[in-house]
A and B are shown apart, each in its own frame.
Chain A
């Protein structure tokens, strides 16, 4: 008798869970989580299409990330070109993070490949929240930092 009651109760729980799952997935479709990302308005570059440019200390800074589209949890190559910038004593670097969310220190060290071009490898990690707006802060020691804010594919 007790066992039968417990089985009925467990069945209720399973049905409740299935119903919640059904409604839950309907309530929050994947693209709505992205649409709700208030930091999307900060996006100033589309790295999926090609290079992005910013100005730093009167010099043009160009960021290119490959392979495209820029996808989280994959090995990426970051290439930064400084047009007209003087030779740097220390190499530049990129801090990867999310606007409004502390994701820990994720730094890409860049090495010179000549003619003001620097390159390094890194990974953009995935956030469980579903938010896909990321920031690459390019720092040029002695000159300053400029931000590239872009969308990432999960």
Chain B
């Protein structure tokens, strides 16, 4: 086995272990919020889009770290973006939660619980729902920027790979590949969380669902506070 493939497997397994040992606790509420906001719609595609977006952001960051060979330099430059991502994520989750409570008609904005009459209106609603599903990809891209200790640790390795590569191109490829492996490794744990939330017995209980909406609002506020303090 070459050292590169060995490293990739190491990053994949690290991502897997971190997923269960860290991400479930730190990002679990976020995944719960995203799953609840689906309001019973199929889980697989939105989740894949979300994780795909998140992993792509990790890859871009890995490429940047490897290209510069400096973790601290890139990290210092993306702090403002991360703070913004925390704020935006918090605001978005609060809005999703409010939409679910039904207190305000945000469902129309997010394409949730919207049942228009008429063929054309239904087609538009269908397109809106598809667009809502597609939105999980940019959400993933954004959330990949969230400050996260284990992601930083993985990025340290990407920067090191860039320093040790024979030329910058090879370094960028190595950095991106390592972060892709790490991101993919974290998916099973978070997908399991989403699947548990998506259980039919939970959805069948409107009150628990309303409680979920309140949890989402709480999670959103937590992210906004975290952004404030970061």
- Contact at B105–A103, with CB atoms within 8 Å? no
Say yes or no for B176: interface residue by CB 8 A criterion: no
A128 touches B91 (CB 8 A): no
Contact B18 A17 (CB under 8 A): no
User: Within the assembled complex, what's the spacing in Å between the Cα atoms of A27 and B229?
Assistant: 12
Known: A21-B221, A33-B229. A128 touches B106 (CB 8 A): no
B221→A24 contact, CB < 8 A:
yes
Contact residues of A between 88 and 107, Cβ < 8 Å to B: 98, 101-106
Q: Is B26 an interface residue (CB 8 A)?
A: yes
- Within the complex, the shortest CB–CB distance from B95 to chain A, in Å, comes to 7
Q: Are B26 and A128 in contact (CB under 8 A)?
A: yes
Given A104-B18, A123-B156; A21-B149 close (CB under 8 Å): no
Q: Would A12 and B104 count as touching, CB distance under 8 A?
A: yes
Interface residues on chain B, size class: 35 or more
Q: How far is the CA of A13 from the CA of B105 in the complex (A)?
A: 10
How many contacts between A and B, using CB within 8 angstroms?
90
Q: Are B152 and A125 in contact (CB under 8 A)?
A: yes
Instruction: List chain A residues, Cβ under 8 A from B230.
Output: 128
Contact of A129 among B26, B94, B105 (CB under 8 A): B26
Partner of A73, one of B26, B76, B222: B76
How would you classify the secondary structure of chain A's contact residues: helix, strand, loop or mixed? mixed
Q: Which residue of B lies closest to A23 (CB)?
A: B221
A1-B225 Cα distance, complex, nearest whole Å:
35
| Chain B 175-230 interface residues, beta-carbon cutoff 8 Å to A | 217, 221-222, 224-226, 228-230
Question: Which of A73, A106, A125 gathers most chain B CB within 10 Å?
Answer: A125
Judged by a CB distance under 8 angstroms, whether B17 is at the interface is yes
Asked whether B21 is an interface residue with its Cβ less than 8 Å from the other chain, the reply is yes
- Nearest to A130 among chain B residues (CB) is B229
Closest 6 CB pairs of A and B: A104-B153, A125-B152, A102-B21, A104-B150, A24-B225, A127-B149
